Amino acid sequence: MPARLAMLAPPVTSMPLSPQSSDWQLPTGNSCVNNAWPGPRSFPATASRLGISTFIRHCKPIRPNHFHRPRPLLEPRQPTCRYIAPRSAARDPMKTQYLRLNAAFLALVCLFVVFGNLPRFVPIAGSFGNVNASELVIYLCAAPILIKNFKRLITSRAVLFLLAVNAFSLGVGIYHYGLALDSMFYNIRLSAMILSGFAAGVALHWIFRDDITRLTKAYVVTYGAAALFSFVLLVIYPDSTVLWLKLEQMGISFTGDPHQFRLVSTYLDPNFFGTIIVLPILMGTLLIQRSSYFAILLLMVIALLFSFSRSGISLALLAFACVFGLRILSMVTQYQSKHIGVRPAHVYFLLLSPFLVLALIYVFDSQVERVVERFTTTRDDGSALSRLRAFDTGTELIAQHPLLGHGYNFAIRYLFKDGTKVDSSLQMVIMSYGFIGTLVTLVAGSLWAWVISGKLRQLPSPLPYLLFRKLLIYTALTLLWAGHFNQIVFYPFWLLPVLALFFYFDQLCVSLKSPHPFRSPHGTFAHSF
């Protein structure tokens, strides 16, 4: 009888017999077992002492089939609804190599932004004059990424639309002026810049994925380094005419305005620098709760003031007014819906901002007076009067071909012949693409931005939408306001970083449709699935 009972009992190796086991229910108060499980060794003796009927009646199994089908020790894990990231790049050599390629290209883009026009100290002669060496390196290094992401390239509507508009302007220019090699070169250069911006956007998406904080840190640190090198250049050459003479002695043709104690920056133009530095300042407001990045933000603000650029300073004021205005409107909307969300860092920044402004005015008293003088003496300023004459020139050129334009940079011969120029970026766009091309581009860009904003709003993290909104505000104000004073829209050091950010958000929204959009362990958007 004990042997037969032992055969009926569950095997010891298949199911642990312990007091904590939940597979058997023993009646409390049983005098035979003293409220405890007898254990595997006393199992036959206890069963024989109780009797088979009593033992089976008192020890009721929750799962009766355990007597016939022993449960295995290691059961397969039940599937859950949590997101399981694909295999990491460290286990895939090809993916690791591709990530290194993207990281190397982004490093080149950072050096391109930081050093600006300083590579012009390395003269590269050609039929089109001196060309920035770093710009050629960017175009060449973007080719492997474009080849690797050829499918993304041909399926990106934004890239194809921009290239189509530029190709159409090339055809219009050839129709009006024939095969003008210099103008065709600038058109091909713009297409190369668009493709390089797409490559940079894809690289940003591969490296940072959905981590907006790390992306913002990278931009802020890059432009902080550019501001630091600009101050070094100011210390070495406080008079920019000395720098222009130095370049001329080296055989480099570069025409610059005479500036006294102005931060001409590594871009060798304070007005361009003043407009460009506004974007990282706006992005840096997302990192104001971190002391180290707040110091970099303060450095960029001081660099903007030392540029004495009316267009840059006014652009910063307008951009911050729009950002805070939208923030207040959002707070009012949240208050009406009884959902108010204000970060403590924003409150501290608003409370301390007046004291910071007063401290800057006290420390840089003479510089502030000079900035105020730049705005109050516009009528007597030669540069302001030259911009008015350039605006009249642009109006005359637009009137010649108002519908389809002259083609991008095909009117350059007319400008060189008369010794004039066009400073307004908006006029340059209309003059190149006509009212039809400009209107179609603006409508298409607005629809694209509306679609991207709608997708970013649905994500659990608010940072992507906040950064994209600041980018839209900055781009619109640059085109409509600051672009009237400087030819900034087609400037490579402005165009490449801005295009990279736009294409980054484009790839980020495209990745939401794929089954495995996030290969980074830091992905936060995966929780939305």
> For residue range 383-418, what is the model confidence (pLDDT) as tens digits?
566 667 777 788 888 888 889 988 888 887 666 666
**Per-residue pLDDT at 20 exceeds 70:** no
For position 85, what pLDDT does the model report?
42
What is the pLDDT averaged over residues 39-64? 49
103, 207 contact by CB (below 8 A) = yes
Residues 118 and 164 grouped into a single domain: yes
- Span of 1-5, 108-112, 174-178, 380-384 with lowest mean pLDDT: 1-5
What is the pLDDT averaged over residues 238-252? 81
Residues 107 and 63 grouped into a single domain: no
Q: Is residue 77 part of a domain?
A: no
145, 203 contact by CB (below 8 A) = yes
Residues 133 and 268 grouped into a single domain: yes
360 — pLDDT class (breaks 50, 70, 90): low
Sign of torsion over alpha carbons 383, 389, 395, 397: negative
**Per-residue pLDDT at 332 exceeds 80:** no
Q: Name the residue range of residue 474's domain.
A: 103-369+393-528
Q: Is residue 82 part of a domain?
A: no
What is the pLDDT averaged over residues 22-32? 44
Residues 108 and 59 grouped into a single domain: no
Closest CA to 12 of 33, 35, 43: 43
216 — pLDDT class (breaks 50, 70, 90): very high
Sign of torsion over alpha carbons 92, 95, 101, 102: negative
Residues 62 and 117 grouped into a single domain: no
Task: Please tell me the distance from the alpha carbon of residue 309 to that of residue 317, in angstroms, as a whole number.
Answer: 12
Task: Indicate the residue among 46, 67, 88 that finishes a domain.
Answer: 67
* CA 202 remoteness from chain centre: 10
Q: Is residue 308 part of a domain?
A: yes
**Per-residue pLDDT at 270 exceeds 50:** yes
Residues 451 and 509 grouped into a single domain: yes
pTM higher than 0.85: no
Task: Please tell me the distance from the alpha carbon of residue 465 to that of residue 126, in angstroms, as a whole number.
Answer: 44
Q: Is residue 246 part of a domain?
A: yes
Task: Please tell me the distance from the alpha carbon of residue 4 to that of residue 11, in angstroms, as a whole number.
Answer: 13
Q: Is residue 52 part of a domain?
A: yes
Counting the structural domains of the chain, the total is: 2
Q: Is residue 94 part of a domain?
A: no
Residues 43 and 136 grouped into a single domain: no
Residues 277 and 346 grouped into a single domain: yes
Taking each helix axis as running N to C, give the angle between helix 463-480 and helix 425-457, from 0 to 180 degrees, rounded to the nearest 10.
Answer: 160
Q: Is residue 96 part of a domain?
A: no
Q: Is residue 84 part of a domain?
A: no
What is the pLDDT averaged over residues 203-209? 93
For the chain, percent of residues with pLDDT exceeding 70: 65
For position 209, what pLDDT does the model report?
87
